[in-house]
Amino acid sequence: MSEMRSKQIYIIKASGQKVPFDSNKVEATCLRAGASKELAKQVVKKISQQVRNGMRTREIYRVVLNALAVEDESHIIKHRYRLKESIMLLGPAGFAFEIYVGKILENYGYYIEATRSRVNGKCVKHLMR
């Protein structure tokens, strides 16, 4: 059993909650971003060598991005890994992003209903998000 596995490492989430570090989560996010199983395992190996008690998830995120940048020459996977963060930076809960995409589609000739509009349902009005 490796030294890392014999001693549990706790990290701190953005909420302040302390949780055990789970390398499987790092691997899963790399795979969802399009990394091969081999690349995901390489990233996990690098992260596992650098993670320490009390490290914040934000720091781990940055270490993963750096590892992806080194291991993935095309940087495509790194950019996919950052996609959710990038969209959230566009506005609260992505609302500004919805408006932006709506304007793009309008320029292509599509009709866009107001974002966050109400639609009559069978029994009640629904807020469309």
Contacts of 47 by beta carbon, 8 Å cutoff, 6+ apart:
23, 26, 60, 63, 64, 67
- Strands (E) across 47-117 are located at none
pLDDT in tens, the chain (129 residues): 444 445 899 999 988 999 999 999 999 988 888 888 998 999 999 999 999 999 999 899 888 888 887 776 767 777 777 776 777 676 665 567 778 888 899 999 998 876 566 667 777 766 665
Contacts of 76 (CB under 8 A, 6+ apart): 34
Q: Sort residue 54 into left (φ over 0), alpha (ψ -120 to 50) or beta.
A: left
- Total-model pTM: 0.58
What is the residue extent of each domain of the chain? 3-85, 92-127
